[in-house]
Amino acid sequence: MQDRRPVAIGPLLIIGGKEDKVHTPDILLQLVRFIHKTNRANRIGIVTTASRQDHLAFRTYQQVFTRMGIDTVDALTIQSRQEANRMAWANQLKDLAALFFVGGNQLRVTSLLGGTQFNQALNQAFRQGLIVVGTSAGAAMMSATMIVEGAQDDIPTRNAVQTVTGLGLWPHAVIDQHFTQRGRLGRLLAVLAQNPAVLGVGIDEDTAIFVDQEQEWLEVWGSQTVSLVDGWSITETNAAESVPGQPLILSHVTLHVLSKGYGFHLRTRQPIRIEEETVRND
């Protein structure tokens, strides 16, 4: 079992989308249990920037978290850069245990929040232990390299995927979601061919990873699998010489497919067996 000491930098909970909220909502329940173990207020903020149906998205999670025992669920319905530069939104982060980014369009998150007062306050709160959670688009935006769009069920090519700069909460990874369900291995390999230093992370629906960057490990939660694609071991690639549409060559890529009960050490790049879920109460 992993070390349970509190971390200085906040943990990340990165969800692959379509997490169960009703029948077996294990991921969200584990999040609530973790919050209750901290010395922070029993309070979650919901950032709806990625969604065009922001009020509906908020109400959905408000009902879920209230039912699970969270005292206060705040709506952070930021829909413009002007709003994101209002100090009232930034100041609200100081009172939260966790900040939850809903799904939708990840480019809305980076284009509307990037570089704003809210973004700066988020980075500061994260360094002070704020738990940052994201599902679907809210997961994709956490890495420094963010996938915007790309071909699905296709071979990796140089132009198979479009990437931009994400919020960078996890700088050494690139995250894809709805992974197995939408056949996204090819596009993750395409990103990795051009960015082999980062860890490619593909998260299935109703599945999440709990990431502790201070202790350098992650743990898989939920019902499906997480695919970790490691480019450090690549011995040959044609990424620099290829032309758009040309299949990419990658030799000696390392792939780990992990499920609940397993984790991964980020420094040694090795999977680990977790006998009991790390953040649950004994």
Query: What is the set of active-site residues?
Result: 136, 178, 205
As a whole number of angstroms, the distance between CA 202 and CA 200 comes to: 7
Which of helix, strand or coil describes residue 101? strand
As a whole number of angstroms, the distance between CA 276 and CA 126 comes to: 26
DSSP 59: H
As a whole number of angstroms, the distance between CA 129 and CA 252 comes to: 37
Amino acid letter, residue 271: P
Q: Which residues of 38-53 are buried (b: 16+ CB within 10 A; e: fewer)?
A: eeeeebbbbbbbbbee
